[in-house]
Amino acid sequence: MKFTLKETQLGLRNSTTRLPFRYGKACLTWCPQAVFRVAIEVDGRTQAGYSGDCLPPSWFDKTAGKSFEQQIKDMLWAIAEADASYRAELARPSEFFPAWRATLEHVHAASVARDLPPLLASFGASIVERAVLDAICRAKHVSFAKAVRGNLFDLVPGDVHPQLAGLQPSDWLPPEPRDSIYVRHTVGLSDPLTASEIPVDERLEDGFPQALEEYIERCGLRYLKIKVSNQLERDIERLKAIAAIVQRHRDERYGITLDGNEQYGNAGDFDTLIEAIRGEPALNTLWSNVIAVEQPLERGIALSAENTGGIRELSRTKPVIIDESDGTLDSYSKAIELGYRGVSSKSCKGVVKSLLNAGLTWLHNDRGRTGDYIMTGEDLCTVGIVPVQSDLCLVATLGLEHVERNGHHYHRGLSYLPKQQQAAALAAHGDLYTEQHGIVAPHLVDGRLQIGSLQCEGFGFAVEPDMSEMQTPEEAFSGQPSALSD
């Protein structure tokens, strides 16, 4: 399939959180929501496609002292660089896959020249990539899952990973996408665990759960993603409190991932945490239910042999996976050589990358016969319509059983969107959303989301955003306070 890229447009809309989201050294209280639009020409007609994501503080780039405003400018630069590259590669009728590879290489090289991290380069490229994939699906009137299984995107996995030569995504993906998925609820570093510990003046009273225990009681959660902070005593006490809450409501029937968010600049500190967890009787059940440990080591040491002996040993019983270190196409393979046993899927790191990493996971699992290596679904505080639905569509296609979701926890559903956009989302995706407390929001029941309606034409969303309501980058964050704190 050949097409040309005719138009592109970036729009931003500010959003504020209903409660602060603390991860690592960042505390998210507001951020721009980006929507990117492309128009491609295929078969003699023009078709639009969209992508979206938030622009968060201190995740792609954790350079000490860099302001949130500068981080946003760097994210916008990466998107613009990818935009220009895709425009050049698709100026005449061309296939997607060569343009994808050329753009990824270009943006990464340009990022090196500007001393920006590879994770940021992958984000910029992924924004344009996702919009183009959406447009291709819409042009051919198919869902993303069908497009992937039919290799509508002309992917050649062996050109990226030689061990996948002769294979296509349909060889390792399940025959059908999931129509529901369990939510792995984020427990941020400052999130209240019980309603009683919330000060009166901090109680939201917006109708939605606020404390972890309220979410478990009202939404039937059975999977959690718990942030740890590299403050040993605090982490152990918090884990004990969480374990008591979950066991009270779920008995022993739950799953946990522990997220280090690169908090460990010294591998020994991480080893000490694991020893402390294993040595605490009150955490025996929680530890037995740990599915994976996510990116504990700071990315500067995470893929160095001298710092990963403990990772290799731990992964024999509990898979340790990379997330922030997954900046380039070969990151996962390097991580496996060092003893890691998995990788995250995250739309912001690239959709094709997730599909190919799923192939590597399948291959290392003896073509699906074992489960030693894992892929998890992770979140970037995505919200509806476009960002969260396309990411859910991706993990549904990958066949993942659960996915981290936290956008509906830290934001008030679709409240940042105009009423007509909320109503349109509810009408088109009534399995995923319901009207709650005066707004449209994701509907979480028995710990899962219903997502069958995401198998529509395109990349998981039937409602196209109104770009005329968006702001320019300059308008969107002018005068906003920094969301980065120590």
pLDDT digits (tens, 9 = 90+) for 60-95: 999 999 999 999 999 999 999 999 999 999 999 999
At residue 201, does pLDDT exceed 50? yes
Q: Are the C-beta atoms of residues 343 and 335 closer than 8 Å to each other? A: yes
């489960």: which residue's tokens?
371
At residue 274, does pLDDT exceed 90? yes
Helix locations, 309-348, DSSP H: 309-314, 331-337
Q: What pLDDT does 319 receive?
A: 98
State mean pLDDT over 432-446: 96
Lowest mean pLDDT among 26-30, 93-97, 255-259: 26-30
């476009």: which residue's tokens?
386
* AA identity, residue 454: L
CATH 3.30.390.10 domain extents, the chain: 4-141+150-158
Q: What pLDDT does 483 receive?
A: 41
Cα–Cα dist 349/324, whole Å: 9
At residue 480, does pLDDT exceed 60? no
Strands (E), 346-387: 374-377
Q: What pLDDT does 380 receive?
A: 94
What is the value of pTM for the model shown?
0.96
CATH 3.20.20.120 domain extents, the chain: 163-469
At residue 485, does pLDDT exceed 60? no
Cα–Cα dist 209/145, whole Å: 33
Q: Are the C-beta atoms of residues 461 and 385 closer than 8 Å to each other? A: yes
Looking at domain 163-469, which of 3.90.1150.10, 3.40.30.10, 3.20.20.120, 3.40.720.10 is its CATH number? 3.20.20.120
At residue 486, does pLDDT exceed 50? no
* Residues of the chain above pLDDT 70, percent: 98
Instruction: For the chain, give the mean pLDDT.
Output: 95
pLDDT one-digit tens code per residue, 310-365: 999 999 999 999 999 999 999 999 999 999 999 999 999 999 999 999 999 999 99
Q: What pLDDT does 173 receive?
A: 98
Which of 165, 148, 230 minimizes the C-alpha distance to 363? 165
CATH class of 4-141+150-158: alpha beta
Q: What pLDDT does 24 receive?
A: 81
At residue 409, does pLDDT exceed 70? yes
Cα–Cα dist 137/153, whole Å: 9
Q: Band of the pLDDT at 472, cuts 50, 70, 90? A: confident
Cβ-based neighbour number of residue 266 at 10 Å:
13
